Structure 1
């Protein structure tokens, strides 16, 4: 159940809210406080989703309270209730303390409830964004978002490691993506611009970036983010020198393989020959052939290429 907290130094206003919001008791867990410092103490012990605070309180103003709350409790939303005289202060506070919304007193109950619902929805959306970012960190390829100037706005862990390596693609001091030479940098920036304006027919949104360290080229795919973010582009960065790690325990569970069979399947899917895979996991070649037949039977595949395709499209390639 979502937790809503009200703080106002006027006990009559709190009692009125408590009485009028009884119908919401089955949806929200509600707490009511007269003293802001009691709220700060309470937040050290309890999780609160939305706080409705009066702007003018003798011990601590609503603005001061909001600042202290957001120093330690970034995962809650704050709504101010203010008199007309405090209106400009309330407007300024939205930028200074990340206050979600404010209402002038007296506030219509339906409007306030709608504001609380929207604050809860915003909190939920933020939670899903965090989950989405965590999911991207498990992707076996680099994922990042750039603006039209190729300035990096977001990157997952794989992309961050690629940028740290500084081979083929680099981050300038101003976080602009660059390649190893000016011609490739121009080509990269043109691919980004083409994707933003959905002109993929020029290069299919794809570009290879060479690395002068003897490693194979990085592969880049640029895709538009659409109407929601028209000036931003999604980049996928593939590094053929860093194939996705394959979790043999996941393979074992998915296909009913023994650990040795799963290890063999994982090695083969990394591009090793049967002889090399057998050596890596300490098997004789004859034992490896026997295990491979068992793997084919359990995975319902007939050829090594089929097995590799099955493994590489399974969740076993997702980082744990």
Structure 2
């Protein structure tokens, strides 16, 4: 006795029940019960497949967030951190005057910690709040903190909406301005020298400053810049920086 329970683009799911000759044939009651249970088995398999797809989507999403060059911390309705990406862990471990535990995220100094707590409270209220920003300074450098409501009330993944209510973005002004030379070459076929020039522009350097830093003449740098404009389809330095800093080239290796 058997049935083709499910058939889709991934294959077939077939179930079969067997008895020994000594046991004898299936009774009408056995067959009726099998026919009754088969649709439920199909529903169970469909639910399992959807859960698996959902898990894969979540895993892909977290992996993508881990590639971002800035820190991200998700908070629940009780201000507890429920997940943070790799960059956030690096920023916190590098001594940026910010700490994170299983219960809270806080600053080393009371005044700054109070302000961060207030920003989180405002984000959790979600009363048309667009987010708030603060900065921390330490020997390790400057850190920009931006807190915004997540707004997932109508998100298709209700489980995530039940947990994550606010998100904190952590930006390191120094490390976040660096661009992957390898990706620049892959995307735009830039030479190492051209990639170094793009890196300088993204870090806020002028052509004059790069003349001294790179030991090259202004004419050489301007010639490289023209080649970069041509390869990236841009016409101005500001446009070039915006394209690079908002595209995949900014992702960390």
TM-score range, shorter chain: 0.7 to 0.9
Cα distance change on mapping 1:264 and 1:120 into 2, 3 Å: same
Give secondary structure in 2 for the equivalent of 1:301: coil
Give secondary structure in 1 for the equivalent of 2:147: strand
* Cα distance in structure 1, aligned partners of 2:142 and 2:162: 32
The equivalent residue for 2:3 is 20
Give secondary structure in 1 for the equivalent of 2:252: coil
* Cα distance in structure 1, aligned partners of 2:50 and 2:64: 21
* Post-superposition CA distance 1:182-219 (Å, at most 9, x none): 23222222222222221254xx3212132243732422
The equivalent residue for 1:148 is 77
More moved, 108-117 vs 174-183 = 174-183
1:208 paired residue among 97, 120, 134: 134
Q: Which runs of 5+ in 1 are unaligned?
A: 1-15, 35-104
* Cα distance in structure 1, aligned partners of 2:109 and 2:17: 62
Q: Which runs of 5+ in 2 are unaligned?
A: 19-32
Cα distance change on mapping 1:163 and 1:175 into 2, 3 Å: farther
* Cα distance in structure 1, aligned partners of 2:243 and 2:176: 15
User: Does residue 163 of structure 1 match 2:96?
Assistant: no
1:226 paired residue among 132, 152, 166: 152
The equivalent residue for 2:195 is 262
Aligned length, in residue pairs: 230
2:3–2:16: 8 Å Cα contact kept in structure 1? no
User: Does residue 108 of structure 1 match 2:74?
Assistant: no
* Cα distance in structure 1, aligned partners of 2:8 and 2:232: 53
Equivalent positions of 1:113-192 (< 5 A) are 113-172=42-101, 174-192=102-120
Give secondary structure in 1 for the equivalent of 2:175: coil
Cα distance change on mapping 1:188 and 1:271 into 2, 3 Å: same
Instruction: Between the two structures, name the one with larger relative contact order (CA 8 Å, sep ≥ 6).
Output: 2
2:73–2:81: 8 Å Cα contact kept in structure 1? yes
Superposition deviation, residue 309 in structure 1: 1.6
Give secondary structure in 2 for the equivalent of 1:216: strand
Cα distance change on mapping 1:131 and 1:217 into 2, 3 Å: closer
1:149–1:176: 8 Å Cα contact kept in structure 2? no
1:146–1:152: 8 Å Cα contact kept in structure 2? yes
* Cα distance in structure 2, aligned partners of 1:33 and 1:257: 64
* Cα distance in structure 2, aligned partners of 1:309 and 1:23: 50
* Cα distance in structure 2, aligned partners of 1:149 and 1:22: 45
1:245 paired residue among 159, 178, 193: 178
Superposition deviation, residue 287 in structure 1: 1.8
The equivalent residue for 2:28 is none
Give secondary structure in 1 for the equivalent of 2:141: coil
Superposition deviation, residue 21 in structure 1: 2.5
Superposition deviation, residue 22 in structure 1: 6.5
* Cα distance in structure 2, aligned partners of 1:295 and 1:25: 49
The equivalent residue for 1:296 is 229
Superposition deviation, residue 134 in structure 1: 0.6
